[in-house]
Structure 1
Amino acid sequence: MILEHEIPQGGKVYFGKSAKLKREFENNICKIFYNNGFEEILTPAFSFLQHQRDFSDRKIIRITSQNNQQIALRCDSTIDTIRIITKRLARSTGAKKWFYIQPVFSYPSNEIHQIGAECLSIKEFDNLLTIGIECITQLQIPSILQLSNIKIPMLCAKELKIDIKNLLSEEINTLLQYEFLAKLIAIQTIDDLKHFIPQAPAFLKNELEKLLAIAQKCNHNNIIITTIQEAPVNYYNDIIFRIFINNSTLLLGGKYKITNEASCGFGIYTDNIIDILQNKE
């Protein structure tokens, strides 16, 4: 029996104080984006299945259209945003920086509220990271900024002649038998990274120096470096960043390539932030 007050598991209800917190937060983020030259976009909740990708933590909700075409509820906003801008809007707008406020959905009935930003220019990465940090620090809650470079484990796997999936899934003790990997895994701070680079293998130095340069520019008082990190989403292919509290992710982003377009962006996990703001008050 389904009671009248029940909602499907994974659904979200915001009301009263929580709805007010959510609206105020979204309005503040909009101001930050507009002040930095972003345009807003809203993409359809439904898209053709061929335009979606399967993710390890999000299973696609599929339906069939009246023409017997496979359609899916949006499970990722980045893919649709980049595809629509490059394939549909490119001729009518020259804008390169976009943001959106919309949920994504995953099977069986999960609803995830997000705010996202996408830049169709890799040159905007430093500025984008600064904006992402500003979005979270204006909440005045302590957080940790984690920086990684996806190319580092890829280069390690190539050097050791093993599959990247095998490298990332190995037990830590297995990885520690390689001296350079043991030193890489031990890196946690900017100083650790700075001290390791002079003794790093030649095939890693360029990517390590790139990670260090980004870390030294960040205006955040609690930065950790993770050198062996799996890409959280399969289109990320370079520097990635994550802001979190305990085990709760507040923001996730980085450099990526979709439809051969080198871009960068991030997503803010609104539901997690509202939970934290409610507990704070």
Structure 2
Amino acid sequence: MILEHELPQGSKLYFDMSAKLKRDIESCAIKAFYENDYREIVTPSFAFLEHQGDMFNREIVRLSSENNHQIGLRYDTTLDAMRIVTKRIMRSSTHKKWFYIQPVFSYPTTEIHQIGAEYLGGESLSPVMCLGVSILQTLNLTPYLQISNMKIPLLCAKHSDVDIEVFALQNVGKLLQMEGYMADLVHIKTKQDLQKAILNAPAFLKEELERLLECASYCEYEKTIFSPLFFAPSPYYEDLFFRMFVGNSTLLQGGKYSVDEQFSCGFAIYTDEVVECLLS
């Protein structure tokens, strides 16, 4: 028996103070986006399964259309928004900066509220990252900012013949047992650490380490951590990457990516996590 007060597991309910905080977060983000020349996009909640990126992903909520086409509830807004902008909207608009405020869904009944920004063709991640940081600062939040470069662990895995899973699992003990340069990278935390490591880094890593350093040079944020060996498997983030977190909660993450050969950068604010953080 299902009681009247019960909600499906993973669904969200906001009321009173939590609903007000959710709306305040969205209003704060909207103000920042419009001030930085972003325009809003609202994508359909449903999409053809073949447009969902990984159509075999078991976390996609699936159903059939009236014509028996396979449909999925929106699982990832970045992929969906970029597909619609590049394949449909760019026929009538050349605008490159877009933002969205809408949930994504995963099987069986999980909904995640997001606020996101995408900059098509954006060559530098720095202004996008600084925008995300400033939104959370405006909300009086000061989480840690972790900056990484996914290309670095991929290069290390290739040149040292190490399984990339070692980096994905953040097996620090195993990494410290490897070649000298790897141990140096494990210990990097500050900008000074990174600058020092670049001087002694192998030639195949210097350029990517310098790109990591440059990424943060436009965003002076006290609680910044550099993690050159951080690797988070993603369907599109394979370059510079950043996230803001408190404890085990990720409040925001983003980076540079490529969708259908369109190089862009962006981020998503996890509204549910931010609300919980503000309430605690």
User: Which one-letter code corresponds to 2:21 in the other structure?
Assistant: L
Q: Is the 8 A contact 1:188 1:226 kept in 2?
A: yes
User: Which one-letter code corresponds to 1:217 in the other structure?
Assistant: Y
DSSP-derived class of the 1:90 partner: helix
DSSP-derived class of the 1:252 partner: strand
User: Which one-letter code corresponds to 1:226 in the other structure?
Assistant: S
Counterpart mapping for 1:10-25 below 5 A: 10-25=10-25
Q: Is the 8 A contact 1:180 1:201 kept in 2?
A: yes
Partner of 1:273: 274
The range that moved more, 192-201 or 154-163, is 154-163
DSSP-derived class of the 1:44 partner: coil
**Alignment identity in percent?**
50
Partner of 1:37: 37
* Separation of aligned partners in 2, 1:211 and 1:125: 10
* Separation of aligned partners in 2, 1:223 and 1:263: 23
2:159 aligned with 1:181, yes or no? no
* Separation of aligned partners in 1, 2:6 and 2:18: 19
* Separation of aligned partners in 2, 1:234 and 1:179: 31
DSSP-derived class of the 2:92 partner: coil
* Separation of aligned partners in 1, 2:265 and 2:258: 8
Partner of 1:68: 68
DSSP-derived class of the 2:217 partner: helix
> 1:116-151 deviations in whole A, cap 9, x for unaligned?
000002225221111111111111122100000000
Alignment root-mean-square deviation, CA = 1.9
Partner of 1:199: 200
Partner of 1:154: 154
Partner of 2:135: 135
Q: Is the 8 A contact 2:144 2:223 kept in 1?
A: yes
Partner of 1:126: 126
DSSP-derived class of the 1:123 partner: coil
Unpaired runs of at least 5, structure 1: none
2:215 aligned with 1:214, yes or no? yes
Q: What displacement does 1:169 show?
A: 4.4
Q: What displacement does 1:163 show?
A: 4.4
Q: Is the 8 A contact 1:190 1:216 kept in 2?
A: no
Q: Is the 8 A contact 2:185 2:228 kept in 1?
A: yes
Distance 1:243 1:278, change over 3 A: same
* Separation of aligned partners in 2, 1:273 and 1:162: 36
Q: What displacement does 1:175 show?
A: 2.3
Q: Is the 8 A contact 1:145 1:241 kept in 2?
A: yes
Q: Is the 8 A contact 1:194 1:212 kept in 2?
A: yes
Q: What displacement does 1:237 show?
A: 1.4
Count of aligned pairs: 279
Q: What displacement does 1:24 show?
A: 1.6
Distance 1:209 1:264, change over 3 A: same
DSSP-derived class of the 2:145 partner: strand
Partner of 1:261: 262
Distance 1:168 1:111, change over 3 A: closer
DSSP-derived class of the 1:156 partner: helix
Distance 1:21 1:170, change over 3 A: closer
Unpaired runs of at least 5, structure 2: none
Distance 1:170 1:91, change over 3 A: closer
Q: Is the 8 A contact 1:105 1:112 kept in 2?
A: yes
Q: Is the 8 A contact 1:189 1:223 kept in 2?
A: yes
DSSP-derived class of the 1:122 partner: coil
* Separation of aligned partners in 1, 2:148 and 2:128: 16
Q: What displacement does 1:170 show?
A: 7.5
Q: What displacement does 1:158 show?
A: 1.6
Q: Is the 8 A contact 2:151 2:238 kept in 1?
A: yes
Q: Is the 8 A contact 1:46 1:72 kept in 2?
A: yes
Partner of 1:5: 5
Distance 1:150 1:170, change over 3 A: closer
| TM-score normalised by length of structure 2 | 0.94
User: Which one-letter code corresponds to 2:252 in the other structure?
Assistant: L
> 1:73-132 deviations in whole A, cap 9, x for unaligned?
111000000000000111111110000000000111001000000000222522111111
